[in-house]
Amino acid sequence: MMKWVIFGIAIVIGFVFLKLWLLRSQKKESGKQLFDTALNSVFWGFLIWKGSLLLLEPKLIIESPMSLLYFTGGTKGLMLGILGAFIYFVLKARKLKITNLMILQSVVVFVFAVLSGSFLLNLLLNEDKPKVNTAGTNTVEVGLQEGNKSPDFQLKTLNGTEVRLSDLKGKKVILNFWATWCPPCKAEIPHMQDFYESSDKTKVEILAVNLTTSENNPGNIKGFVKERNVTFPVLLDQDGDVGDLYRAITIPTSYLIDSNGIVRKKIIGPMDKEMMNQLIESIN
């Protein structure tokens, strides 16, 4: 999610530079018209980006309409949004009788500022990012911070099978905490199932830990899972110990664990298929 935060900040930087450039190069009225047009263009681009999920993943939207609330069209949707914003900006600027040269210069200034801001922010944040040591995991501290060895636990699945986290060493694991009453969890499950169906089960596993103590009617969990055709392991945290151990206060909360059992990232909030793919590809 951090990359989208960085992108959002970079867009703000782009508007600041565009405003400063327009104040110096244009008359007050024409500069205001161009800046307002740029703002409207980005707004429409954002709407296209959000709505593109309906075009790119219609099956998931049919299964979970709430996905439109929690997710975007990802990278492909962003490209569609940028294209839509550019077309809108050009058409509206021409309608205002802005010259082609001025349109081009405005676009170049804005894009340059956004890319420069994004580059500098990424550079700054990557310098502060701690390096993860995956060698000698027996001596690594057990904990929830990035680089810690993930705390071990054992829970039963819906059909009564015992699953121990440490037995999955050698696989990359998405450890997800959820509940049936949680709206973003409901939106996330179809994306998680789609990811699971397309992943290599010998290298990747999903453990969806239901916070059973928070359920009003635990007997409905099996029907909930069956209705959504979930095939990845669903574990029952009947005593609430594992949820407490992993500090799953806000749900959905997920932990990305590498093949050596090392915690690589904590994600608070729902994930889509593209995000899961990128996270899994980023670790060993």
Specify whether 253 is located in the same domain as 150.
yes
With CA atoms as reference, report the closest residue to 234 among 208, 212, 214.
208
The predicted-structure confidence for 214-264, as pLDDT tens digits, reads as follows 999 999 999 999 999 999 999 999 999 999 999 999 999 999 999 999 999
Mean pLDDT value across residues 72-101 = 92
Specify whether 260 is located in the same domain as 141.
yes
For 46-67, give one letter per residue: b (16+ CB within 10 A) or e: bebbbbbbbebbeebbebbeeb
Specify whether 123 is located in the same domain as 145.
no
Specify whether 276 is located in the same domain as 141.
yes
Looking at 128, 161, 180, the residue that finishes a domain is: 128
Specify whether 49 is located in the same domain as 8.
yes
Specify whether 42 is located in the same domain as 107.
yes
Instruction: Indicate the residue type of 278.
Output: Q
The answer, yes or no, to whether residue 109 has pLDDT greater than 90, is yes
Specify whether 141 is located in the same domain as 124.
no
Give the SS3 label for residue 113.
Answer: helix
The answer, yes or no, to whether residue 134 has pLDDT greater than 60, is no
Please give the pLDDT value at position 40. Answer: 96
Please give the pLDDT value at position 131. Answer: 52
Query: Any idea what the Cα angle at residue 9 is, between residues 4 and 12, rounded to 5°?
Result: 130
Please give the pLDDT value at position 20. Answer: 93
Tell me the β-bridge partners of 236: 156, 210
Tokens representing residue 124 in the block: 């700054």
What residue numbers bound the domain in which 63 lies? 2-128
Specify whether 90 is located in the same domain as 143.
no
Specify whether 105 is located in the same domain as 148.
no
Looking at 128, 148, 166, the residue that finishes a domain is: 128
Specify whether 153 is located in the same domain as 276.
yes
Please give the pLDDT value at position 26. Answer: 79
Helices 74-95, 273-281: axis angle to 10 degrees equals: 120
CA 145/CA 166 separation, integer angstroms: 17
Specify whether 177 is located in the same domain as 114.
no
Residues 6+ apart with CB under 8 A from 208: 176, 178, 192, 230, 232, 233, 234, 235
The answer to whether 121 and 9 are in contact (CB under 8 A) is yes
Instruction: Indicate the residue type of 174.
Output: I
Q: Structurally, how many domains does the chain consist of?
A: 2
Give the SS3 label for residue 250.
Answer: coil
Mean pLDDT value across residues 120-147 = 72
Specify whether 142 is located in the same domain as 98.
no
Looking at 96, 128, 160, the residue that finishes a domain is: 128
CATH code, domain carrying 202:
3.40.30.10
